[in-house]
Structure 1
Amino acid sequence: MTLDFSVLGYWILFVVSIVEALPWVGILIPGSVFVLAFGVLSAKGIFDVGDLIWFAAIGAIVGDHLSYYLGRVIDKKNLKSKNRLLNKILTAQYLEKGKTFVKKYNNKSIFLSRFTTHLKPIVPFVTGIAKIDIKTFVLWDIISEFLWAGLCISLGYFLGNTFNVIEEWSTRTSIFMLFLVAFIIIIRLIVKSGKHSLLLLSSIIKSVRHSIASNPDIKKLVYSYPKFFQVLQKRLDKNKFYGLPIILLSSAFIYVFFLLIGIVEDIINVKQIVAADIRIANLLAIFHNPELIKFFFWITLLGNWQTIASSAITISILFYLWKKQKYILPLWISILGSQAFVLLAKLIFHRQRPDVAVYAENSFSFPSAHATIAVAFYGFLAYIWLRHCQKNNQKINILFSSLILIFFIGLSRLYLGVHYLSDVLGGYLVGLLWLIMAISISEKGAYHKQLPLWISKKKIKFISSFLIIIEVIFYSGFANIYQPPIYLQSKTEKKIIINSVDTLFTNKDLNHFTETLIGNNQEPLTFVIAAKNDQQLIDSFNKAGWYLADNTNLIYIIKLAQAALFNENYPTAPMTPSFWEARINNFGFEKPTDTSSVRQRHHARFWHTQFKTTDGYDIYVGTASLDIGLKWFITHKIDPDINTERNFLFQELLTTGLIIDAHKKPFVKPMIGKNFAGDNFFSDGEAYFINLK
């Protein structure tokens, strides 16, 4: 059954890719969203990524060529006068945009249009009208379609893996977030596609509603139960607060409340949540650097109580000046209510802050007060702005700007290491509850008459500008003055003394495996090494011809991507972080293969444990594997035979003459499995226990 569905899915993707490239239909169909969705499904194992790229790319190429030939055969005069339906969808303004784009970029427009949402269905059509050489069109089209398909499917695949993580700790939240993102994307695409698309969609909805209302059976049903339908009509009246608005707001409040209860329940009962929280915090910690810390510190101060209090006072004065007093009470209810709720929740849950915090916070962790106020305060300001904005494009920009601000305030708490992911999501939901209450109060007052201004608009604008400037100056000054002590060095661990490397795993609480982001086991450890210190471990690998991998930061990642793209050597390329006991590996070692390409390499990851032998040697654990190529030019694929790579690394270390004692023994049961990237591996379950000189 799965096979049949998969085969059908490939052909559905093929047809959608064709249709969305046609000028009449492609304007209305968000093809990239469909392709992205199939990429998400591939992360579930339903589809193969490579096959999806082929079907999407070939379908888009076929659609573009159909559009191109339609442009060549349709006469411009027919386009202007004879087909009403065609002229309704392909307006002169829309065609002119396509022509301007083609004229500006010439042949490159074929490539660039594929990555321009509102122009990609029309440019192949216009190039056909312009009679651009078919060979040129084919070349640029094939390149763009395969690149587009690869990017969309790959992005979907990694989004799918992200959803898998989210599902582990909150199915309800993941569904809510998925639908929210999908809704925003669809609205954005509809607005981008132009006014004619909105008019067409509105016309379809009105036609359907009229057809239902005029149906004889429906009329008979309404006549038979007049009181019921009168009550229903009142409840669905969008012009009265106690009609449709109160139903929507109440439903949203109840749903968000149960989402919050679900997160609290999962934090208490589901181990994977705690596992994912700790690992995500540790993962973000490896990207800490002074520049980004300063940037996110400025962002996080937008959620500090000093900034919120001064901003709320300023905005309350502005509401009073502009005779919008109805918003003052809801604003303060949203702020004070949400923060009181957070304070109470912190006292109830007593959740400790992450160990990787960049600076000290004195309160408990769950939920995040900054994430809460980001939604409760900035969300309410966005609501007011949307309420008084008339243009749809401006509304979309306001919505996206406010969502980005709220997202970055939450992200700043994660990056600075002062909160776990579930703290931030819980804070968002608490803020959303109080935002809904504030909106409900505001909407009730929205049906009252607007009071006249008591001074001239010119004076109010001057005073408003002055107050806003003062607030910006206050925030800037506060951000420069308020500087808590920042520490980048990791906390020193208390060492546990053991007799030797062989006795390390007599402690049954220690994991014998590396771990995924949510704490599931993957490859088993294959090395346990006793060394005097970090430098001796590094020196032993260097003497064996292995390189210490660069840190994982943006500069080195770009350098790695460049080397992978051009098939170049990069002997110290950064590695994908891995987890053991919820901690990121401390060291990555690698050695190029005979290909001298970053696409293939020997690599090993090692962790510095908190254990020390009686003679003062530190204990390190690690794994080794062989990268045999790239998967979709994004990540490496490993050779499934990790036994051979383990033995290879041991022989390399043995040649250094730095080993005084070593032996291999059974460590775990023989097994087969998959790593975090879905690569298969098999192991005989043995590990090397090594003592360096």
Structure 2
Amino acid sequence: MLSAIHHVLPSLAALGIFGYWIIAAAAALEAFLLTGIFIPGTLIVDAGGVMVQQGMLDPFDLIWFVAIGSILGGEASWWLGRHARHGMLGRWKVEEMKPYKRAEELFKRRGGVALVIGRFLGPVAAFVPFAAALAGMERKKFGLWNILSGFPYAIAHVSFGYALGAGLTTFSPLMTRNTLFFLALLVIAAVLYWTLRRLDRAIPHLLEMMGGLLDEIARHPRVDSWGGRHPRVAKWIARRLDRSHLAGLPLTLGVLAFVYLFALLIGLSLDFLQAAPIVQIDAQLAELMRLFWTPGLIQIFIWITALGDTRLVVAVLALALTWLAVLRRFDLFWGVLVALGLDLVSVVILKAGFSRPRSILGYFQESSGSFPSGHATLSVAFYGMLVFVLWRLTRLGAVSAGVLAVLFAGLIGLSRLYLVEHYLSDVMAGWILGALCLLVGISIAEWLRTRIREHVSPRPRWQIGLLLALSLGLGGFAVKRVHDYSKALNPPPMAQPLIQVAQGANLPKLSAGSLEAQTLDAEHSFPVAMGIWAHGSTQIASALETQGWTRAGAPSLTALMRAAFATVRDKTTPDAALAPLFWRNEPNVLGFSKPGPEIEAQIPRLRLWKTSYIDSSGARLWLAVFTRDDGLLQTDGEPAYNLAPALMNALTTSGTAQIAGGISSQEFQRIPLLALR
């Protein structure tokens, strides 16, 4: 029975010896001062112990790698402390960090033994060697204790992971698949929360360290000498890099970001107007998303896309502005209004200017223009500004705020793509435009913050109660809008009308168009090599199975994810789903693989499309493309020209098919046609 842990940790095992190096690097980074305050190296080492129990890694090799990694990290921290110049400790404000205080106190009490104890105290591990160096501990003595501390740490945590893996193996048969799934989600969420908390606490100190390094560079004799020769330029650069006021480094970074994003938006708009490859990718991705539709995912993404509903946004806006007014944070108040107002105005103007029609494949009926996506713009400009407000009010750390903002933007944009309400270029343009609006809103808020004094005064209880009641009311309304969100649905796209022809007749419409299939990124093409007249997919599958071809599963989202996991674990099967190619922007309907002695990336693949041509007997014309690829990454594949003649010869020799003319093409040689019997 396959253990559930193989689905959680397949990647490191597939990397072979590189898996040991990755775990060792995690142990080293946690033991190094500059990265140990936020890298969860111990958790990764514990995960390595779980993989040892599952037979993915060797225990003794892993212990050696972890021990050496942690020893090297400790050496780097000691070196940093030994070579720190006088005064650097104060500028970096390391002495204000709790892990340093604990490490310093531990070293004073325990001496060299503190290096062994500190290994098991999380971020303190990186500060004990640093504190030892600052205290003047001798090099030989430190090296001995550092080596002695590395192996107990490695043995203990690999053993802990082994015991955890044994527990999972024992209890996993007693749990349902849903229980294991939610347990894995809970563990991932807990690890993510713990990592974000550590990063939030570490960011201020890391910024101080970076500032200290910049100060050291500025004081370097060569830099100082250059400044003396060019005083005006040096003074201008110093003003631009000044971190003490808004017009210095913050303004410099803001202007650079605005110019970069504006250039991206102009470039993307020109790509759309010039029908660059992004337009073709738009159409192909829209077709692909329809293949991934499932009732459950559709409902989830409807709830997510409801976050852009006008009435919901008004309710959230009213709630945010009310609280900001009560808190007298009018800098943030006007920042939110400016970001949202600029968002709405710019989206209306650009939608009217580009007038791009919506995709007919969309789930909901929409009447506004498609370029850019208003939902994507709103996800960055409005929800990003709200996250900034929470950060400024110290309700979120800097890293948590960034992750939350990216999560809002990513999920809302993905919902528009999944429901095919927008094309990829629409969403990308919306994100960029939203980021521009967000930058303006943040700039306004920061500028006002230096000019508006904060007034903090206690509030009567009845006002607090009224605010809470208002918050509950507006919050409940927002939740109800998400739950009840619905619009008129688009009818299913109409199928192309059938064209009845004789099997040997010319097909001018087919010859006039492209007879190449492309990858999703439109950068690689594969020629159509054969056509097949057949009475449905079952007849094609039966004929090909006689020649050793195995029908692949339908390319749904679940099937492709399973195929990807199987590829990583080197346990692929012949009937695994194939990533689709696109002919005239439509994904292939059928896929086949022919397993043999070739390596995975060279296995023959056959993908077929159903055309609108039909003969008097009801047989439909299918077009076939032959490739050699690993089934998922066609960008690494290559056309397999020799497979078509071999298959034709085998089918005609066995009496399964007969030659039925061909398709004349200016791009390629005459494409042969077969008629299955």
TM-score (norm 1): 0.66
Task: Measure, in 1, the Cα distance between the counterparts of 2:104 and 2:421.
Answer: 64
Taking the TM superposition and a 5 Å limit, the aligned residue runs for 1:419-498 are 419-452=422-455, 456=459, 458-486=461-489, 489-496=492-499
Report the AA paired with residue 278 of structure 1: A
Q: CA deviation at 1:355?
A: 3.4
In 2, the alpha carbon distance for the partners of 1:71 and 1:251 equals 36
Identify the residue that residue 212 of structure 1 maps to in structure 2. 218
Partners of 2:263 and 2:241 in 1: CA distance: 24
Contact 1:549 1:575 in 2 (8 A): yes
Deviations 1:667-689 (A, max 9, x none): 6878xxxxxxxxxxxxxx66430
The match for 2:579 among 576, 580, 583 is: 576
Give the total of aligned pairs.
562
Partner Cα distance (1:668, 1:29) in 2: 60
Alignment partner, residue 400 of structure 2: 397
- Aligned counterpart in structure 2 of residue 689 of structure 1, from 666, 669, 673: 673
Are 1:587 and 1:607, in contact at CA under 8 Å, matched by a contact in 2?
A: yes
Is residue 664–residue 687 contact of structure 1 (8 Å, CA) maintained in 2? yes
- Corresponding residue for 1:516? 519
Change (3 A) 1:412 1:531: same
When residues 522 and 401 of structure 1 are mapped into structure 2, their CA distance, relative to the original with a 3 A threshold, is: same
DSSP-derived class of the 1:357 partner: coil
Match of 1:202 in 2: 208
| Cα distance in structure 1, aligned partners of 2:150 and 2:230 | 60
Q: Is the 8 A contact 2:501 2:614 kept in 1?
A: yes
- More off after superposition, 240-249 vs 61-70: 61-70
Distance 1:667 1:21, change over 3 A: farther
* 1:125/1:444 CA distance change after superposition, 3 Å: farther
Letter in 1 for 2:514: N
Name the counterpart of 1:417: 420
Shift of 1:514: 1.6
Query: TM-score, normalized by length of structure 2?
Result: 0.68
State the secondary structure of the residue aligned to 2:626.
strand
**Unaligned stretches of 5+ residues in structure 1:** 1-12, 34-58, 101-121, 141-187, 671-684
Aligned equivalent of 2:262: 257
Match for residue 340 of structure 2 among 329, 335, 339: 335
1:306 equivalent in alignment to 2:311 = yes
Which of 621, 624, 636 lines up with 2:623 in the alignment?
621
The answer for the alignment partner of 1:289 in structure 2 is 294
Write the letter of the residue equivalent to 1:691: A
Kept in 2: contact 1:513–1:525 (CA 8 A): yes
Q: Which residue of structure 1 aligns with residue 366 of structure 2?
A: 361
Judging changes above 3 Å, is the alpha-carbon distance between structure 1 residues 443 and 516 closer, same or farther for their aligned structure 2 residues? same
Q: Match of 2:337, SS?
A: helix
Q: Could you say which residue in structure 1 is the equivalent of 2:606?
A: 604
Residues 29 and 73, structure 2, Cα contact 8 Å, conserved in 1: no
- Amino acid in structure 1 at the alignment position of 2:121: E
Residues 602 and 655 of structure 1: is their aligned pair in 2 closer, same or farther, counting only changes over 3 Å? farther
Q: Shift of residue 588 of structure 1?
A: 1.9
Q: Which residue of 2 aligns with 1:352?
A: 357
1:315 equivalent in alignment to 2:320:
yes
Whether contact under 8 Å (1:346, 1:367) holds in the other structure is yes
Secondary structure, aligned partner of 1:503: coil
C-alpha displacement of 1:268: 1.8
* 1:360-387 alpha-carbon deviations (Å, 9 max, x no partner): 2111210000001111100111111222
Cα offsets for 1:322-344 (capped at 9, x unmatched): 22233333322322321221121
CA–CA distance in 2 between the matches of 1:331 and 1:350? 28
Equivalent residue number for residue 274 of structure 1: 279
Contact 1:626/1:645 (8 A) holds in 2: no
Further displaced range: 523-532 or 610-619: 610-619
1:153 match: none
% identical equivalent positions: 22
Instruction: Pick closer, same or farther for the CA change 1:390–1:205 going to 2, 3 Å.
Output: farther
DSSP 3-state at the match of 2:577: coil
Task: Select 1:129's aligned residue among 152, 173, 188.
Answer: 152
Contact 2:511 2:665 in 1 (8 A): no
Cα gap change, 1:493 to 1:231, in 2 (>3 Å): same
Q: Secondary structure at the match of 1:355?
A: coil
Helix, strand or coil at the partner of 1:577: coil
CA contact (8 A) 1:321 1:460 kept: no
Q: Are 1:319 and 1:325, in contact at CA under 8 Å, matched by a contact in 2?
A: yes
Distance 2:565 2:246 in 1: 57
Decide whether the 8 Å contact of 1:359 with 1:485 is kept in 2. Answer: yes
TM-aligned CA deviation for residue 129 of structure 1: 3.0
Deviations 1:21-71 (A, max 9, x none): 6468756469x99xxxxxxxxxxxxxxxxxxxxxxxxx9998646347889
String of CA shifts for 1:439-485, please: whole Å, max 9, x gaps.
Answer: 22211210134443576175555444333322332233223443224
Aligned partner of 1:585 in structure 2 is 588
Contact 2:601 2:628 in 1 (8 A): no
Tell me by how many angstroms 1:572 deviates: 3.5
Measure how far apart 1:646 and its partner are: 2.2
Is the CA contact (8 Å cut-off) linking 1:593 and 1:600 kept in structure 2?
Answer: no
Q: CA deviation at 1:72?
A: 13
Query: Which residue of the other structure, out of 325, 331, 338, is the alignment partner of 2:330?
Result: 325
Give matches, 1:530-569, under 5 Å: 530-532=533-535, 537=540, 541=544, 548-557=551-560, 559-560=562-563
Task: Letter of the 1:650 partner, please give it.
Answer: M
Kindly state the Cα deviation for residue 293 of structure 1 after the two structures are TM-superposed: 0.7
AA aligned to 1:621 is: L
Distance 1:495 1:455, change over 3 A: farther
Q: 1:354 to 1:194 in 2, by over 3 A?
A: closer
Residues 637, 265 of structure 1: alpha-carbon distance in 2 compared, 3 angstrom cutoff: closer
Q: Cα 1:460–1:508, aligned 2, differ >3 Å: closer, same or farther?
A: farther
Deviations, residues 391-438 of structure 1 (Å, cap 9, x unaligned): 7xx221121012111111001101111111111011111112222222
- What amino acid maps onto 2:648 in structure 1? F
Cα deviation per residue 1:556-607 (whole Å; 9 max; x = unaligned)?
A: 3455467667877855421111111121001223466599x99997642111
Gaps in structure 2 of 5+ consecutive residues: 1-18, 40-60, 76-102, 126-144, 163-193
How has the CA–CA distance of structure 1 residues 403 and 501 changed in structure 2, closer, same or farther, with 3 Å as cutoff?
farther
1:272–1:561 Cα change, 3 Å: closer
Contact 1:498 1:614 in 2 (8 A): yes
Report the 3-state secondary structure (helix = DSSP H, G, I; strand = E; otherwise coil) of the residue aligned with 1:414.
helix
- The change in CA–CA distance for 1:661 and 1:457 in structure 2 (over 3 A counts) is farther
Q: Could you tell me how far apart the structure 2 residues matched to 1:487 and 1:561 are?
A: 32
Structure 1 residues 131 and 15: CA distance shift in structure 2, 3 A: closer
Q: Deviations over 1:281-318 (max 9, x none)?
A: 22222111111111001101101222212211222222
- What secondary structure, in the 3-state scheme, does the structure 1 residue paired with 2:533 have? strand
8 A Cα contact 2:196 2:400, kept in partner: no
CA distance 1:606–1:487, shift in 2 (3 Å): farther
| Change over 3 Å in CA distance of 1:578–1:530 after alignment to 2 | same
